[in-house]
Amino acid sequence: NKMPAKGSEFDFYAPLRAQGAVILESEDPETKSQEYLLRVYKSYNGGDFSVYYGDVYSDSPALAFYSYNGATKTMTLKPTYEKITSVGVSGNQVWGSWLLRLEAAKKTGVPQMRSDNATQLQTNIASITTPSDYIYSAETGLVESYSKKDLLQFALGLEYSGITDLSISLEGAVD
């Protein structure tokens, strides 16, 4: 995905930059290993059923801690794309004018940004020997800016199309 330009009205890193954070250029996930998707699909009278597996990079980057400059109190973050594994099922079933849709998936390795970076910084900086240049690298373990989570996702949809030129849909999703 193409990221919005720095300083543009769509720059979603603007609030972090306003607080003094430095955001490095994003890495390109296409330079990493391959992505894989597999789907087994079965269609039958009145519906279909699918089972799928995916090993792909996240669509949006997570901001990884890159360094902290103790002299200028500036944190540098680097956008990174993490690998996410998905396993799931989906299906559709028709009964007259009604359509029922169901999807379920388990995703592993989904990056979730942490909100306690300042607390981590204050807690951990006291236990690490100050570098001579006052720049703490990512190897120091000073801040863990995001963590990886496993998600279970479910979606259910119901659609009625028994009236000419009209369909009524109801959908819901749960993470």
Per-10-residue mean pLDDT, the chain, length 175 = 73 80 75 86 96 92 88 88 95 96 96 84 81 83 89 96 93 92
Q: Which two tokens stand for residue 4?
A: 């919005």
- The residue type at 33: S
Return the biggest CA–CA distance within the chain.
Answer: 76
Identify whether the C-beta of residue 54 lies closer than 8 Å to the C-beta of residue 37: yes
Cα Rg of the chain, angstroms? 23
C-alpha pair distances (Å), 55 with each of 81, 84, 113, 139:
13, 6, 21, 27
| pLDDT value at residue 173 | 93
C-alpha pair distances (Å), 173 with each of 52, 98, 121, 141, 156:
18, 19, 36, 36, 6
| pLDDT value at residue 32 | 66
Residue 73: helix, strand or coil by DSSP? coil
Q: CA-to-CA distance for 78 and 67, rounded, in angstroms?
A: 9
Residue 30: helix, strand or coil by DSSP? helix
| pLDDT value at residue 136 | 84
| pLDDT value at residue 2 | 67
Sheet holding 36-44, edge to edge: 36-44, 47-57, 83-95, 98-113, 146-163, 166-174
| pLDDT value at residue 1 | 56
| pLDDT value at residue 29 | 61
